[in-house]
Amino acid sequence: MFAIVEIAGLQYKVEQDRKLFVNRLQGEIGDKVSFDKVLLTVNGTTTVGAPAVDGISVDAEIIDHVKADKVIVFKKKRRKGYAKKNGHRQQMTQIRITGINGLTDGTAAKQTQAENAEEAAAEN
């Protein structure tokens, strides 16, 4: 069971108890956050939103606020005496997915598929 969710403008594949690094979120360490823009869910059957799936949300807990690895930006124009070195460290938030709300158990979908197959076999 997993879902594709949009968090701070980027799309992530999330599962129960998975840890992710996302762009900086508002909130303190230990706060609970919820994401409502779920684009796709897979739980026995695949549900694709247009643009989002209704009635499903993803809950998470903020674990830590960190900085990503440094990225060096070096610009140079040869024979002109121009060289510029710059660095950047992106602010990130580490979150742990605590649950995907609104999904039914996948076994129910499998049972209905099995029942439909049995009915079709009985009719033939």
Q: Where are the domains of the chain?
A: 2-65+93-103
Q: What percent of the chain has pLDDT over 90?
A: 72
**Residue bearing the bigger pLDDT, 111 or 24:** 24
pLDDT in tens, 87-118: 999 999 999 999 999 876 554 445 555 666 67
| Distance between CA atoms of residues 20 and 25, nearest Å | 12
pLDDT, averaged across the chain: 89
| Distance between CA atoms of residues 64 and 7, nearest Å | 16
pTM of the predicted model, to two decimals? 0.73
Residue 54 to residues 1, 12, 15, 100, 106, Cα–Cα distance (Å): 17, 18, 18, 13, 18
The token duo for 63 is 């674990």
Task: Specify the pLDDT at position 114.
Answer: 60
Q: Which of 48-57, 95-104, 114-123 has the lowest average pLDDT?
A: 114-123
